[in-house]
Amino acid sequence: MKLAGRALNISPSQTLAINAEAKALLARGVNVISFGAGEPDFDTPDYIKDAAVTAIYAGKTKYTPVAGILPLREAICRKLEIDQGLKYKPEQIVVSAGAKHSLYNTIQVLVQEGDEVILPSPYWVSYMEQIKLAGATPRIINTREENGFKLTPAELEEAINPRTRLLILNSPGNPTGAVYTASDLMSLQDVILKYDFSIISDEIYESFIYNGLKHISIASLSPEIKERTILINGVSKVYSMTGWRIGYAAAVKEVANAIICLQSHSTSNPTSISQEACVAALNGDQGTQRLMVAEYTRRRNCILKRLAAIPGITCCQPGGSFYVFPNVSAYFGKSYKGKVINCASDLAAVLLKEAHVAVVPGVVFGNDDYVRLSYVCPMERINVGLDRIADLLGKLT
């Protein structure tokens, strides 16, 4: 069957493919340690599940407004005001089937053929494909390890041209864990306002932040930048609710309305039951979330310590998210059982096959000198996995 160019031009999500491969090995009884996952290993808290069950029996099982139920949009407004001092009206909030869907909708309504979208690399895979799906051109900026993988104002300014319409920022970031400070964001703001384009701020990892850093939304810097920002967030990571599929966009009304219109002809409202559960999540006690972050802090410190002990590996200290992104290029040119390792993809393949450890090669995120490890597995498994990695790297000749 003949497929549309749109379908031919997109690549499948490679992070999901690697996880699938690791799961297939697990299913065959192989004790694979997976550092590939992109979701918390905690269960969704009971108070959230209870709210969903109650919603089902209360008959909250029908269509809702396309943009989401009012109590949820109000809860989101309250959250944004309390956490970031951002004032939005419920009409400015659109709830979708996960933050990925919010991003897709936003990019669809903002850019088209002939437009350029600035995407700092390493980037989260789906941004790239979503930009292409909208017909726009990604303009990749390679950020540098020595800058903590953060885009500098000079790098941004250099990438701008008359076709620039949008910048995508993700702080705390996936895969690098980079966290932009207020002063980082302020200097980017100057450039954005000077050239006047829009910005998507993906804040899905906001709660996973370490070393005393604080999450700052670029939208909170000034009314001028808020007007140009589409803030994206959701409940998947923060409340361990990846399967519930709820994310949201906060934007000026004209953008929110365009997203609502698009969504009204594609998915309509996100799941009514999940929306009710999210009201409980956002309005309830945030204690379980704090426990989760405390545990991730311990694991982060452990994995960084273990990586630092492996010769040749350098790893930028991630300020947030639940990933580390070590540079493994010192091992390129070495070989294992006659197989030469030339890039992180080669190394990831050998690690999975020979050491039964799954990591995601950086090529997926635009830079194959690195691998991404998530620490969303118990501490014992992290330690066993790092033992295996250190052992295998020691055997390379």
Ligand X SMILES: *Cc1c(COP(=O)(O)O)cnc(C)c1O
Smaller CB distance to ligand X: residue 203 or 346?
A: 203
Contact call for residue 236 and ligand X (CB under 6 A): yes
- Count of residues engaged in binding ligand X, rule: CB under 6 A: 14
Number of alpha carbons in the 13 Å side-chain half-sphere of residue 243: 6
Contact call for residue 368 and ligand X (CB under 6 A): no
Smaller CB distance to ligand X: residue 120 or 234?
A: 234
Which residues are CB-contacts of 218 (< 8 A; sequence separation ≥ 6)?
Answer: 169, 180, 185, 188, 189, 199, 201, 225, 229
The amino acid occupying position 180 is Y
Contact call for residue 38 and ligand X (CB under 6 A): yes
Minimum Å gap between C-beta 364 and ligand X is 12
The only residue of 122, 148, 247, 385 in contact with ligand X, by rule CB under 6 A: 247
Contact call for residue 121 and ligand X (CB under 6 A): no
Smaller CB distance to ligand X: residue 99 or 178?
A: 99
Sole window of 53-61, 87-95, 96-104, 181-189 interacting with ligand X (rule: CB under 6 A): 96-104
Number of alpha carbons in the 13 Å side-chain half-sphere of residue 258: 14
Minimum Å gap between C-beta 247 and ligand X is 4
Minimum Å gap between C-beta 161 and ligand X is 26
Cβ pair 323, 172 in contact under 8 A = no
Contact call for residue 155 and ligand X (CB under 6 A): no
Interface map 200-219 toward ligand X (x if CB under 6 A): --x-x---------------
N-term to C-term CA, the chain: 48
Minimum Å gap between C-beta 48 and ligand X is 15
Contact call for residue 242 and ligand X (CB under 6 A): yes
Q: Under the rule (CB under 6 A), what is the footprint of ligand X?
A: 38, 98-100, 124, 170, 174, 202, 204, 234, 236-237, 242, 247
